[in-house]
Structure 1
Amino acid sequence: MRKLRRAGLATTALLLAACSSAPGPAAPQPVTVAIAGDVHFAGSSAAALEPGGLDAVAPLLREADLTVVNVETAITDGGEPAGKQYTFRAPAAGLGALRDAGVDVAAMANNHSLDYGRTGLEDTLQAGRDEGLPVIGLGQDVDAAFAPHRTTVRGTTIAVFDATQVIDGSLATAWTATADRPGLASVQTASGRQRLAAAVQAERERSDSVVVVLHWGRELQDCPTQDQEDLAAELVAAGADAVVGSHAHLQLGQGYLRSGDRTGFVDYGLGNFVFYAKKAVTVETGVLELTLPAAGGVPRARWRPATIESGVPVPLEGSAADEAVRHKESLRACTDLAAAP
C-alpha cells in the first residue's frame, strides 16, 4: 500500500514538474511591413493586369508580413470623369493583380481615387471586398475614411492609417469625407491633421506598432516641403512608429525623426511603383521594408531598390542596387532626418 502511495506521489510530482516546465504563451515577435509608392494601371502600366505582370517584384512584396501600396486610381468601369487634366480608372482586376503579387492593403487616400466621382468610390469599395484586398483612406463617411487597417501577426498588432495632403483645389471640399458625405481622409486642413493625430494617439494604446501612409509633397521636388516636415513631426509625437508617403513621382529622403519624447522613421517619398513613367528620376523606385517589434519603434529599415520597365517595377541587383541605395541615402541631406534612431 505504501509502495502504491509512494508511486502515486512520485507520479504526481512528475506531472507537476512537467507542467511547471511547459512553455507559456509565445512572446510577440517582430514583424516586417513593406510599403511601396504610386500605382495605377494606365498606359504601359496596364501590363500589370496581364497574367504574371508583377512577377518580377512579387518576391519582394511577399517576403514581408504585411505589404501596403498606394493605389492612385479609381477602381471602376463607370462614373463620370472629374474636371481635371488627368483622370485614372482601372478594373477590379487591378486589385486582384496586386493581391496575387503579395499586396495586403491598398492605401487609397490620394488625388486620383475619386477621379470618377461617387460611382467610382462605391465601385472601389466594392472591388476591395470582391477581390479580398482591404482598402483604406476613403469611405462612406469620415470615420470610415480615417479608420486604420488593423491586423495581428505572431502576437504583434499593427495598425496602418492612410490620409492625403494633396487634393486638387477645386475638388477638395467635394472629395473630403465628412460625417454625412463619403470621401477621402484628408489632412489638408488643421482639423484633418488634428483628427489624424488624435486617431494615431488613441491607436497607440491598443496596437504595438502604428504606421501612417500619406499622399503628400510637391511633384518632381526631391526635398520635403515645410508642410510635410510639420505633419511628420506631429504624427511621430502622437505615436506613429513610421510615417511614409509618396506623390512627387520621384524619391525623397528617409531617416529617423525625434519629435516630443518619441522617435519615428520617416520616408518623405517612395516614388512611382506601377506607373507609366519614362524619365530617369521617375522610374527610380523600390520597396521600403520596416522591422517593427512589439515594443514599438523601427530598429531596422531597408530600401529594396527597383526600376520601372514598361510600366512595372523590376528589382535591381548587384552594383546597380548598391548605387540605388546610396542615391536614396543621399536624399536625406535636405531633410530633418537622422541616419540612425
Structure 2
Amino acid sequence: MYIEKRSEKKKRGRKFLPVIFISLLAAALLIVILSIHGTRKATRIQQAYAPGSAQGMTPVATENTGAASGSTAEETPTEPPQEPFDYTLCFSGDISVADGARTTQYWLDHDKDITQCIDPVMVQTMQNADICFINNEFQYSTRGSALPGKPFTFRGDPANVSVLHDLGVDIVSLANNHTYDYGEDALLDTLDTLKNANIPYVGAGKDLDEASSIYYYELDGFTVAFLSGTRVEWVEETKGATENSPGVFRTVEPDLLYQRTKEASANADYVVVYMHWGVETATYQEEYQTETGHGLIDAGADAVIGDHTHCLQGIEFYNGKPILYSMGNYWFNGKSMDTMLAELHISGTADAHDTQLQLIPARQTNCQVIYYGTPEEQSTFFRNMEDLSSAYHISIDENGLVTPAVE
C-alpha cells in the first residue's frame, strides 16, 4: 500500500511540473522566513536565560554587532543557550514499617493504603517531587538476631518495601543507628531488598567503599549528588563498614566524609549530604553538628539535611546554603509531635541556579501524619520553627519559604 501511494504521487508530479516549480519557490521563501524567526526566538531565549541573565542578574546581549552583509569579519562562535529548569528535591525524617511498630500495624489494618496513614497532601508532595529522599530507620529482613543489650531494634518484612513506591520515594539513607540491628545478614538482606525494588541507597554497604559512596541523579543534564553519614554513637553499637566488611558509614572522624563531599562537588552541579546526628529528643544542636555542617558546606555541599533526634531542630544558612539540623520523625511511631517535609526548589540553569527552601508543615499523631492545612496552624508551626532557629536569624513566610532574616 505504501509503495502504491508513492507511485501515484510520482505520476501526479510528472503531470503538474509547473505546480511543483511554484511550490518549490514558495517553500524556499518559507524556509528563509522561518530561519529569521528562529534566530530571533533563539536570541530571546539566550538573553533571558544565559548565565548572568536570570534571577536578578544582568542580561547578556546577543545581537550580532559584526560588519554588514558581505563583510569578511569573522563571527565569534557562541555556545547554545542553556534551557531553564525548575526541579524539586523533597526530604523527610524517619520512616518505619518494622515488624511490631505501631505505624506498621496501622498500615496493615488499613489494607496498606498509605493515604490512610499519611495525609494525601503530604503523599502527593512526595510523589510530585523530582527526587524524594527519606531516612529508612530499620532493616528489611527475616534473618538475624537482635543485637544484645540494645533496647530498641527494628527489622521489617522485605515485602514492606512497597510502601516506598507508594510514597514516591526515589532514594533512602541507611546511615543510621538501626541499620545493623539484626546483624550482618539482615543488613545484606536490606541492601538486596532495596536493589530489587530499584530504590537506591546511601550511607551503608557491603564495605566502606560502598557505604561512603556517592549516588548521582541526572535530571536532564543537571547532576544532583547524594551521600549520607551517621555520627550518633561514640561507642560503636551499629557496626561501621570497613574495607572488607558490611556496615554503615560512620563519620565520628569526618575526614572521609569531607573527602567524599569534595569528590561529589567536583562531579555534580548540586550536592546534598544527609546526616544522622544529634541527641535524641534534644531541640538544640550539639557543637559538633554545627562544626560538621559548616565543614560540609565548606567542602562543597549545597545543602545539609539532618535527622536522628526524633524531634525538629533549627535551620541555619551558612554561606547562603541551608542546614536543616533535624527533620525529626516523619512516620515512625504513635507519638504526637510536629513534623514536616522540606523541599529544595532549584531553578535557573546549570551555570546559574538559585535554591529556595520550603517547609510543608504537619503533625505525626496516632500513627498518622496530618497536614497542617489552615493558615492559623501553619503560622503557629512556622513561628515555632523560627524560635528553634533563633540563633540563626531566619524568616519563614506564609508559604513556608525560608530565608535568612534581614538584620
Answer whether TM exceeds 0.5 for this pair.
yes
Task: Report which of the two structures shows the higher radius of gyration computed on alpha carbons.
Answer: 2
Does residue 86 in structure 1 map to residue 187 in structure 2?
A: no
Query: What are the superposed Cα offsets for residues 223-260 of structure 1, whole Å, 9 maximum, x if unpaired?
Result: 100010000000001111110111111100013112xx
Query: What are the superposed Cα offsets for residues 120-147 of structure 1, whole Å, 9 maximum, x if unpaired?
Result: 1111011102222212111111111111
Q: What is the aligned partner in structure 1 of residue 332 from structure 2? A: 275
Q: What is the aligned partner in structure 2 of residue 35 from structure 1? A: 91
Query: Alignment length, in residue pairs?
Result: 327
**1:272/1:298 Cα in 2 relative to 1: closer, same or farther (>3 Å)?**
farther
RMSD between aligned residues? 2.6
Q: Residue 267 of structure 2: SS of its match in structure 1?
A: coil
Q: What is the aligned partner in structure 2 of residue 307 from structure 1? A: 363
Does residue 289 in structure 1 map to residue 289 in structure 2?
A: no
Q: Are the equivalent residues in 2 in contact too, given 1:128–1:134 (CA < 8 A)?
A: yes
Query: What are the superposed Cα offsets for residues 47-84 of structure 1, whole Å, 9 maximum, x if unpaired?
Result: 34542134523112112211111011011111111121
Q: What is the aligned partner in structure 1 of residue 131 from structure 2? A: 66
Q: CA separation in 2, counterparts of 1:296 and 1:121? A: 41
Report the residue type matching 1:219 in the other structure: E
Q: What is the aligned partner in structure 2 of residue 183 from structure 1? A: 247
Q: CA separation in 2, counterparts of 1:205 and 1:328? A: 33
Q: Are the equivalent residues in 2 in contact too, given 1:273–1:312 (CA < 8 A)?
A: no
Report the residue type matching 2:281 in the other structure: L
Q: Are the equivalent residues in 1 in contact too, given 2:202–2:214 (CA < 8 A)?
A: yes
**1:93/1:58 Cα in 2 relative to 1: closer, same or farther (>3 Å)?**
farther
Q: Residue 30 of structure 1: SS of its match in structure 2?
A: strand
Q: Residue 286 of structure 1: SS of its match in structure 2?
A: strand
**1:95/1:6 Cα in 2 relative to 1: closer, same or farther (>3 Å)?**
closer
Q: Once structures 1 and 2 are overlaid, which stretch shifts more, 93-102 or 133-142?
A: 93-102
Q: CA separation in 2, counterparts of 1:124 and 1:38? A: 16
- Pairing of 1:186-265 with structure 2 (within 5 A): 186-189=250-253, 193-258=254-319, 263-265=320-322
Unaligned 5+ residue runs, structure 1? none
**1:296/1:38 Cα in 2 relative to 1: closer, same or farther (>3 Å)?**
farther
Instruction: Work out which structure has the larger RCO, using CA pairs closer than 8 Å and 6 or more positions apart in sequence.
Output: 1
Report the residue type matching 2:102 in the other structure: S
Q: Residue 199 of structure 1: SS of its match in structure 2?
A: helix
Query: What are the superposed Cα offsets for residues 145-164 of structure 1, whole Å, 9 maximum, x if unpaired?
Result: 11122112243211111111
Q: Are the equivalent residues in 2 in contact too, given 1:77–1:91 (CA < 8 A)?
A: yes
Q: Are the equivalent residues in 2 in contact too, given 1:242–1:298 (CA < 8 A)?
A: no
Report the residue type matching 1:117 in the other structure: G
Q: CA separation in 2, counterparts of 1:130 and 1:119? A: 16
Q: Are the equivalent residues in 2 in contact too, given 1:29–1:155 (CA < 8 A)?
A: no
Q: CA separation in 1, counterparts of 2:164 and 2:327? A: 17
Q: What is the aligned partner in structure 1 of residue 180 from structure 2? A: 114
Q: What is the aligned partner in structure 2 of residue 322 from structure 1? A: 379
Q: CA separation in 1, counterparts of 2:176 and 2:359? A: 23
Q: Once structures 1 and 2 are overlaid, which stretch shifts more, 81-90 or 19-28?
A: 19-28
Large movers: runs of 4+ above 4 Å? 3-26, 295-298, 336-339
Q: Are the equivalent residues in 1 in contact too, given 2:361–2:372 (CA < 8 A)?
A: yes
Q: What is the aligned partner in structure 1 of residue 162 from structure 2? A: 96
Q: Are the equivalent residues in 2 in contact too, given 1:45–1:274 (CA < 8 A)?
A: yes
**1:63/1:322 Cα in 2 relative to 1: closer, same or farther (>3 Å)?**
farther
Q: CA separation in 1, counterparts of 2:169 and 2:373? A: 22
Q: Are the equivalent residues in 2 in contact too, given 1:95–1:131 (CA < 8 A)?
A: yes
Q: CA deviation at 1:25?
A: 6.8
Q: Are the equivalent residues in 2 in contact too, given 1:73–1:113 (CA < 8 A)?
A: yes
Q: Are the equivalent residues in 2 in contact too, given 1:137–1:185 (CA < 8 A)?
A: yes
Report the residue type matching 2:338 in the other structure: E
Q: CA deviation at 1:15?
A: 7.0
Q: CA separation in 1, counterparts of 2:34 and 2:328? A: 60
Report the residue type matching 2:132 in the other structure: T
Report the residue type matching 1:302 in the other structure: Q
Q: CA deviation at 1:195?
A: 1.1
Q: Are the equivalent residues in 2 in contact too, given 1:197–1:235 (CA < 8 A)?
A: yes
Q: CA separation in 1, counterparts of 2:26 and 2:178? A: 76
Q: CA separation in 2, counterparts of 1:9 and 1:132? A: 51
Q: CA separation in 1, counterparts of 2:125 and 2:28? A: 57
Q: CA separation in 1, counterparts of 2:282 and 2:344? A: 24
- Pairing of 1:8-19 with structure 2 (within 5 A): 13=32, 17=36
Q: Are the equivalent residues in 1 in contact too, given 2:147–2:182 (CA < 8 A)?
A: yes
Give percent identity, aligned residues only.
26
Report the residue type matching 1:181 in the other structure: S
Q: CA separation in 2, counterparts of 1:120 and 1:29? A: 41
Q: CA separation in 2, counterparts of 1:7 and 1:305? A: 60
Q: CA deviation at 1:11?
A: 6.9
**1:154/1:48 Cα in 2 relative to 1: closer, same or farther (>3 Å)?**
farther
Q: For 2:197, which of 131, 134, 155 is the aligned residue?
A: 131
Unaligned 5+ residue runs, structure 2? 1-20, 43-79, 396-402
Q: Are the equivalent residues in 2 in contact too, given 1:70–1:107 (CA < 8 A)?
A: yes
Q: CA separation in 2, counterparts of 1:182 and 1:127? A: 15
Q: Are the equivalent residues in 1 in contact too, given 2:118–2:369 (CA < 8 A)?
A: no
